């Protein structure tokens, strides 16, 4: 029986290339290609793919959001995420969600095909370089990520304290500890690092 694959990629040229590439594998049945993740989610209900191959960074709905919704809507469907960049926050969230596969877009075509086969068979396929990156993440807590969001918006310690219901002194101490934990010299560097790693 062929593996039914649905592809989601917001860049239409890349989408067409992925669909054409996967169709070269005789054990795959590519049942759809979508540039709009919302349309892909709706179609998955009737098309019932075995594996959804999705870009992770898309406007409106990320690949992680799509995977989260698919898990609720079609728990038997497995997901392989594709990313151009190795971002620690994405890897951690993918692992937390139980994503079947997380591969880099510049992986060889046969790596993608083998990854889809493995995920369809119930095995997990995470690019080794992504796992290595994840091991040295120093990811902040959820509270710290909220705080980083507020810092990025340019809010003062007093404003952040009001938003989080904490004292200004407590916020100052938290930020000092956070900078030390992630190895940032100041607020600007902390926000840049958090964005680069996919924490915020």
Copy the structure tokens of residue 170. Answer: 């407590």
On the 0-12 / 13-18 / 19+ scale of CB atoms within 10 A, 176 is exposed
Residue appearing with tokens 């098309």: 47
Q: Do 145 and 157 touch, CB atoms closer than 8 A?
A: no
Q: Do 34 and 63 touch, CB atoms closer than 8 A?
A: no
Task: Return the sign of the alpha-carbon dihedral for residues 129, 135, 140, 141.
Answer: positive
Query: Residue 185's pLDDT is what?
Result: 86
For helices 88-97 and 63-73, what crossing angle results, to 10°? Answer: 0
Residue appearing with tokens 């290609």: 33
- The domains found in the chain, sorted by start residue, are 3-134 (3.40.50.2300), 142-197 (1.10.10.10)
Per-residue pLDDT of the chain (200 residues; tens, 9 = 90+): 899 999 999 999 999 999 999 999 999 999 999 999 999 999 999 999 999 999 998 988 999 999 999 988 888 999 999 988 666 677 777 877 888 999 988 888 899 999 999 999 999 888 876 665 555 456 777 788 888 889 999 999 999 998 888 899 899 888 988 888 787 889 998 888 888 777 77
Query: Residue 94's pLDDT is what?
Result: 80
Query: Residue 86's pLDDT is what?
Result: 63
Query: Residue 75's pLDDT is what?
Result: 87
Q: Do 15 and 7 touch, CB atoms closer than 8 A?
A: yes
Q: Do 13 and 55 touch, CB atoms closer than 8 A?
A: no
Cα distance between residue 30 and residue 3, in whole Å:
8
Among 77, 31, 39, which residue's Cα sits nearest to residue 58? 39
Query: Residue 88's pLDDT is what?
Result: 64
On the 0-12 / 13-18 / 19+ scale of CB atoms within 10 A, 118 is middle
Q: Do 27 and 3 touch, CB atoms closer than 8 A?
A: yes
Among 107, 101, 103, which residue's Cα sits nearest to residue 121? 101
Query: Residue 134's pLDDT is what?
Result: 56
Copy the structure tokens of residue 198. Answer: 């996919």
pTM (two decimals): 0.66
């Amino acid at each position: 029986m062929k593996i039914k694959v649905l592809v989601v990629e917001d860049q239409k040229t890349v989408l067409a290339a992925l669909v054409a590439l996967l169709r070269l594998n005789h054990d795959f049945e590519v049942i759809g290609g979508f540039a709009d993740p919302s349309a892909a989610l709706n179609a998955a209900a009737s098309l019932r793919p075995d594996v959804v191959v999705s870009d992770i960074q898309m406007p409106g709905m990320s690949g992680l959001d799509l995977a989260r919704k698919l898990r609720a809507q079609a728990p038997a469907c497995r997901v392989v995420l594709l990313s151009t960049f190795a971002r620690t926050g994405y890897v951690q969230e993918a692992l937390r969600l139980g994503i079947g596969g997380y591969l880099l877009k510049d992986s060889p075509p046969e790596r993608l095909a083998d990854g889809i086969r493995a995920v369809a068979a119930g095995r997990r396929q995470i690019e080794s370089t992504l796992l290595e990156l994840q091991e040295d993440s120093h990811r902040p807590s959820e509270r710290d990520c909220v705080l980083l969001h507020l810092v990025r918006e340019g809010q003062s310690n007093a404003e952040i304290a009001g938003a989080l219901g904490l004292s200004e002194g407590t916020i100052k101490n938290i930020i000092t500890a956070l900078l030390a934990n992630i190895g940032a010299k100041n607020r600007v560097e902390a926000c840049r690092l958090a964005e680069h790693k996919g924490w915020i």
